[in-house]
Chains A and B, each alone.
Chain A
Amino acid sequence: NAGVTQTPKFQVLKTGQSMTLQCAQDMNHNSMYWYRQDPGMGLRLIYYSASEGTTDKGEVPNGYNVSRLNKREFSLRLESAAPSQTSVYFCASNSGAGYNSPLHFGNGTRLTVT
């Protein structure tokens, strides 16, 4: 039981390049989330998917797109990377969109955009 798995662990991009961050969970969770973590700013929600087939914007969605490929997988795409997107990205999941279900996080993808 791996929990939430993110790939890659590290990535360096040049400004304007595109990439997709992958996330998969094996806990049969309905809801999945993408957060970014920046020093002094905590975790900020980028996009989330309350259930398979639905996605919604979070606090900081600009410059990102997401795809809920199936119940297990939720990917985050940067179409044209910018230095402001240098951050650590975390995928998380829980059994429902409500707060009674704890979030389970992956170990993060460390992205640097030069």
Chain B
Amino acid sequence: GQQLNQSPQSMFIQEGEDVSMNCTSSSIFNTWLWYKQDPGEGPVLLIALYKAGELTSNGRLTAQFGITRKDSFLNISASIPSDVGIYFCAGPPSNQGGKLIFGQGTELSVKP
């Protein structure tokens, strides 16, 4: 079935460093969503992207909707310990009635 591939699967960084992660699909998506899951909780929506080429920021987070519509990127600047968690990309394949599918997640660890 349709899959979203996220990379990297995990990252271990020092506090203050910038972080980049991406998500790719084999087919075109019209929407890209980025969620964050804190340990022991459910995912929470960070950023939603609706147009190819769109660049959207939410505080220290910036996400981009790839021009090809088959990928998306999430950047975190000047990481802090509370950035720890799992970041998921998600999108609605056009042939699945708007239901979301999720990537495998990127697990971020931040060392103080």
Contacts and interface: CB of A to CB of B under 8 A. Distances in A.
B1 A105 contact: no
Counting chain B residues whose Cβ lies within 8 A of the other chain, the interface size class is: 20 to 34
Contact of A107 (B6, B41, B48, B104): B41
B42 A42 contact: no
Contacts, number: 60
Contact of A102 (B40, B48, B104): B48
B9 A40 contact: yes
Interface in A41-55: 41-45, 48
Contacts of B35: 103
B67 to A, nearest CB: 20
B88 A42 contact: yes
Contacts of B100: 45, 99, 103
Given A42-B88, A105-B44, A107-B42, A97 B99 contact: yes
Interface string A67-93: 000000000000000000000001010
A14 B28 CA distance: 43
A10 B70 CA distance: 37
A45 B41 CA distance: 17
Q: How large is the interface on A (under 10, 10 to 19, 20 to 34, 35 or more residues)?
A: 20 to 34
Contacts of A97: 97-99
B88 A43 contact: yes
Nearest to B43: A105
Contacts of A99: 30-31, 33, 91-92, 98, 100
A78 to B, nearest CB: 20
Given A99-B31, A99-B92, A102-B33, A45 B45 contact: no
A92 B42 contact: yes
B78 interface: no
19 contacts: A41-B104, A42-B88, A42-B102, A42-B103, A43-B88, A45-B101, A58-B99, A97-B97, A97-B98, A99-B100, A100-B50, A102-B48, A103-B45, A105-B42, A105-B43, A107-B40, A107-B42, A108-B40, A108-B41
Given A99-B31, A103-B45, A108-B42, 17 more contacts: A40-B105, A42-B4, A42-B88, A42-B102, A42-B105, A43-B43, A43-B102, A45-B99, A90-B42, A90-B43, A98-B98, A99-B91, A100-B50, A102-B45, A105-B43, A107-B42, A108-B40
